[in-house]
A and B are shown apart, each in its own frame.
Chain A
Amino acid sequence: MNGALPFIAAAALLALVLGFLARRGKDMNLEEWTVGGRGFGAIFVFLLLAGEIYTTFTFLGGSGYAYGKGAPAYYILAYGTLAYVLSYFMLPPIWRYAKEHRLYSQSDFFVRKYDSPALGVLVALVDIVALIPYLVLQFKGLGIIVDIAGYGAISPTVAIWIGAIIVAAYVMVSGVHGSAWTSVAKDTMILAIVIFLGLYLPLHYYGGLGPMFTAIEQAKPGFTVLPAHGESLWWYASTVLLTALGFFMWPHSFGSIYTAKNATVIRKNAIFLPLYQLILLFVFFVGFAATLQVPGLTGSNIDLALFKLSVKTFDPWFVGVIGATGIFTALVPGSMILMTAATLIANNLYRAVNPSADDRQVSYLAKLLVPLVALVAVFFTLKGGETIVALLLMGYSFVTQLFPSLILSLAHRNFATREGAAAGIIVGVATVATVSLTGMNFHKLAWLPSAIQDLNIGIVALVANFIVLIVVSLATRAAAAPAQAAAE
């Protein structure tokens, strides 16, 4: 027994209790379970949308990125901000349409807009293939956090099992209400812990932020600016743009829009979410502080920077508090992903093959699927090899492929046809997979100017997607026009 364990255990217990309490007074039908009865006010919607920012990826990965690479980490701050600007204009029409047509999932949106259950199946498949690795990432992070913050007392395997059971249990019982309630605890803790760490560590080791960045620039010249090649300005601009467009294409983020009780709630959040992002700045400060204090971490170990420095600096009980916060950053996004994946399978895959299923059956099935999806994710977390790592890298690019057909469907007269949308998505996803699996990038094309070499390769997939969407839409429209004329 060490000083950290009580806090870690308390966090797990608190998540479980809050997750179960969230159910109180609710009749957990599908609408209540998956979109909170479309009754969430500004605070809950804010926390659900912000939930995307503070996953284990940002807690561990954000500090690790700053630790290992320096300035390129800034891109995370910029893309979120731009995504929130877009959200002001893009999300209210999505919310309104979802409410009018009583939609539950992102896939439903495509089904309705394009009047095509088949397109819904395609979107659901893309979503699930992107979501499962994302859930695996949360579980992996959870294992790492409990292992280090518990000073090795609990093995990652045990931690992952316990975490998966807790999150599956409260998602089954409370659905999105569980995510919302636990996110209150998560965001309160992370706010306090991250701001404290981000201010204290630079002060403690360097005497302040200014001296810290001066010391880093002296030891590693160019570390606090974007490099001339590789993760350069061109890389930064193209990556920020791509990820900003893809941000709300994550099906669990998309689904959290549905929980809002009105569109004003969503627009109001576009003011505050950019500010809230600034907490990431403090995560970066921790990573920068670690650069010169716990040097030598390389490869995927850069993600350990925050905890390595914390263990070096603080008493075990406080490391336990940080670990407890970390657990919430895994469980809350994990719960949203789990619920979204289960809803997609039940509502958009099962219902597609069995259209007579009513909401009650779908709701029952979705809840049954929760532990199954969790089990699959645990399996991949413990046994997954290269494939799952590859899928992880592709996940964001996969969901970004939904952007063109989604944004066009918001127009008064949608230019894209269902065939065009489907073809665009398929070509986009295939391009992402090919590019990722073959390790292709612009650097292999040495004749290109270096600015273009540094561009994010994801641009290729999105452009290919868009071109195919337009061409196929034009073709299907041309083919449909004579038939339509004849019908009239």
Chain B
Amino acid sequence: MRSIRWLAVVPFLALLVGPFFVNQPTPLILGLPFLLAWIVVWILITSLIMAVIYAVDPANREEGA
């Protein structure tokens, strides 16, 4: 299951490359300009991705508390 670690590449694509496709002020999402909303949403997804990686990673069980 170590291959799940490759998920960590996704935030890099989303936050480095993504803006090239969403660099626009509208539509506003929850009041935020579209580019800013994109970044914020991806920060939330990044946190989720890290949670998934953490949950699956056997290293966190080996070492215990």
With A213-B33, A267-B60 known as contacts, the answer to whether A77 contacts B8 (CB < 8 A) is no
How many Å from the CB of A82 to the closest CB on chain B? 6
* A270 touching B11, Cβ below 8 Å: no
B1 interface contact, C-beta 8 A:
no
A240 and B47 in contact, given A213-B25, A233-B23 (Cβ under 8 angstroms): no
A-chain residues with CB within 8 Å of residue B17 when the two chains form the complex? 237
Q: Is the CB of A210 within 8 A of B28?
A: yes
Q: Which residues of B lie under 8 Å from residue A237 when comparing CB positions?
A: 16-17, 19-20
A312 at the interface (CB under 8 A from B): no
Within 8 A of B (CB), among A73-87: 74, 77-78, 81-82, 84-85
Indicate the size class of the contact surface on chain B: 35 or more
- Please give, as numbers and ranges, the residues of chain B lying within 8 Å of A18 by CB-CB distance: none
Do A226 and B15 contact each other (CB < 8 Å), given the known contacts A267-B57, A272-B47?
no
Scan A212-251; emit 1 where CB is below 8 A from any B CB, else 0: 1110010000101110000001001100110000000000
Are B33 and A217 in contact, CB atoms less than 8 angstroms apart?
A: yes
**A278: Cβ under 8 A from any B Cβ:** yes
Main secondary structure of the interface of A (DSSP, over half): helix
Task: How many A-B residue pairs have C-beta atoms within 8 angstroms? Tell me.
Answer: 114
Number of interface residues of A (CB under 8 A): 42
A38-70 contacts to B (CB < 8 Å): none
A89 within 8 A of B: yes
Q: By the criterion CB–CB under 8 Å, are B54 and A268 in contact?
A: yes
A78:B32 contact, CB within 8 angstroms: no
Q: List B contacts of A195 (CB < 8 A).
A: none
A233 CA / B18 CA spacing, docked (Å):
10
The 0/1 profile, CB within 8 Å of A marked 1, for residues 18-62 of chain B is 011001111010111101100110111011011101100101100
Are the CB atoms of B36 and A74 closer together than 8 Å?
A: yes
Q: A66 to chain B: closest CB distance in Å? A: 10
Q: Which of B11, B47, B65 contacts A264 (CB 8 A)?
A: B65
Known: A213-B31, A224-B36. A240 touches B15 (CB 8 A): yes
Known contacts A81-B11, A88-B50; A226 and B19 CB within 8 A of each other: yes
Check if B40 sits within 8 Å of A77, measured CB to CB. Answer: yes
Which of B15, B25, B30, B31 contacts A78 (CB under 8 A)? B15
Contacts of A89 in B (CB 8 A): 5, 8
* Interface residue? A459 (CB, 8 A): no
B40, A281: Cβ atoms under 8 Å? yes
A372 to B36, CA, bound (A): 43
* Residue from B23, B28, B53, B63 within 8 A of A263 (CB atoms): B63
Which chain A positions have C-beta within 8 A of B53? Answer: 88
User: Which chain A positions have C-beta within 8 A of B19?
Assistant: 226, 233, 236-237
Q: Verify A74–B5 contact, CB threshold 8 A.
A: no
**B positions within 8 Å CB-CB of A:** 5, 8, 11-12, 15-17, 19-20, 23-26, 28, 30-33, 35-36, 39-40, 42-44, 46-47, 49-51, 53-54, 57, 59-60, 63-65
Assuming A275-B47, A277-B43, A281-B40, what are 11 further A-B pairs, CB within 8 angstroms? A77-B43, A81-B11, A81-B46, A82-B16, A213-B33, A217-B26, A225-B25, A233-B23, A241-B16, A264-B64, A267-B60
